[in-house]
Amino acid sequence: MIKHILIAATLALSLPAMAASNAPWGSAKVIDITYSKQKVVYDTAVKTVEALTSVMDRASYLSAINGADPFDNKIVIVMHGDEIDFFAIKNYSKYKELMTRAQSLTVGGIIEFRMCKIAAESHGHQPKDIHGFVHMVPMGDAEIVRLQDEGYGYMR
């Protein structure tokens, strides 16, 4: 009985301190992990420049933390949504900064943009209408499945 009273008293005394704190569990612990040899496919169907920029930022950062070695990692961004119009040659002046960034990500051979031909056609574009750093695939969904079969991790 005395043991239960002591436990209750200890808890009662610590509750006000915990309630007054905004961090009753302390702070997050950092786990030191080294990443390498990752293959990733981003399933991309976005509507805004900001959303596509976010995908490109994530892909670029993933490449960097993997050592940016084209022999050890590969990142494929498969596009099959409204972002297709950003890659149309006729829209270059409107999306020049975005396209310059996208093309620059492909230079090292780690990040690649692949576009669904069916989706491009539904947006009124043929392969000749899309910037040359983009690779056209027959179907985005099938490409994502194929890449997963090859060991690529899926990211949305």
pLDDT per position as a tens digit, 107-130:
999 999 999 999 999 999 999 999
pLDDT digits (tens, 9 = 90+) for 8-44: 555 555 555 544 588 899 999 999 988 888 999 999 9
pTM of the model: 0.82
| Confidence bin at 75 (pLDDT 50/70/90) | very high
Q: How many CA atoms lie within 13 A of 45 on its CB side?
A: 10
Paired strand residues for 49:
none
Contact at 8 Å (CB) between 89 and 108? no
| 87 exposure class (CB count in 10 Å sphere: 0-12, 13-18, 19+) | buried
Is residue 29 included in any domain, yes or no? no
Q: Which domain holds residue 88?
A: 39-155
Is residue 43 included in any domain, yes or no? yes
Is residue 107 included in any domain, yes or no? yes
Other C-beta atoms closer than 10 Å to the C-beta of 122 total 11
Contact at 8 Å (CB) between 85 and 123? yes
In total, how many domains does the chain have? 1
| Confidence bin at 3 (pLDDT 50/70/90) | low
pLDDT of residue 80: 97
Neighbour order of strands in the sheet with 39-44: 134-137, 111-116, 74-79, 39-44, 153-155
Judged by DSSP in three states, 113 sits in strand
Is residue 24 included in any domain, yes or no? no
Paired strand residues for 75:
40, 111
pLDDT of residue 4: 52
Q: What is the CATH number of the domain that holds 43?
A: 3.40.1260.10
Is residue 21 included in any domain, yes or no? no
At residue 6, does pLDDT exceed 50?
Answer: no
Q: Output DSSP code: residue 83.
A: G
Is residue 114 included in any domain, yes or no? yes
Is residue 52 included in any domain, yes or no? yes
Sign (positive or negative) of CA dihedral 65, 70, 74, 77: positive
| Confidence bin at 149 (pLDDT 50/70/90) | very high
Paired strand residues for 135:
114
